Amino acid sequence: MNTFTEYFTIMMIEDDEGHARLIEKNLRRAGIGNPLVHISDGAKAIEYFFGKENADAKHENILLLLDLNLPHIDGYEVLKHMKSNERTRSIPIIILTTTDNPREINLCYEMGCNVYITKPVEYDKFSDAICKLGLMLAVVKIPSVTR
């Protein structure tokens, strides 16, 4: 049975260290105090969720911020793995990327992403977009599997 929780860990899969710091800084500025875990590439994300050590983990109370342009395994593959697996299917995934091609946006929604946000190139607009994301995260509830 699914219930919903306001307490969750934000997992950011982002290869650009500058973007990662800026995202965390602006989420904190928006009042988001949730734990934040940073993974720097798609292969590490796949290992975290599906590796032998975590094969039976439930991965509850996670919201994923996923870049598409990642080394080793791109964000599309991470999204595909997450949404095709019973244990990770209900994890909310927010695509946060520089790609604004309508075809790519449609593809991500078809693959199961929950929200698609294009990162603005300009620093001030990028910071503002992340602050607005933080406002949304302050009121979001995510699925939580009851034990």
Residue 143 covered by a domain: no
Residue 137 covered by a domain: no
**pLDDT over threshold 80, residue 54:** no
Residue 19 covered by a domain: yes
Mean pLDDT of 37-65: 86
Q: Average pLDDT over the chain, rounded to whole?
A: 89
Residue 138 covered by a domain: no
Residue 144 covered by a domain: no
Q: Provide the percentage of residues in the chain whose pLDDT is more than 90.
A: 68
What range does the domain containing 99 cover? 6-132
**pLDDT over threshold 70, residue 30:** yes
In which band, very low, low, confident or very high, does the pLDDT at 139 lie, cut at 50, 70 and 90? Answer: confident
Q: Which is higher by pLDDT, 92 or 135? A: 92
pLDDT tens-place string over residues 67-106: 999 999 999 999 999 999 988 999 999 999 998 999 999 9
Mean pLDDT of 117-129: 91
Please say whether the beta carbons of 10 and 37 come within 8 A. Answer: yes
CATH number at residue 31: 3.40.50.2300
In which band, very low, low, confident or very high, does the pLDDT at 1 lie, cut at 50, 70 and 90? Answer: very low
Q: How many domains does the chain have?
A: 1
Residue 115 covered by a domain: yes
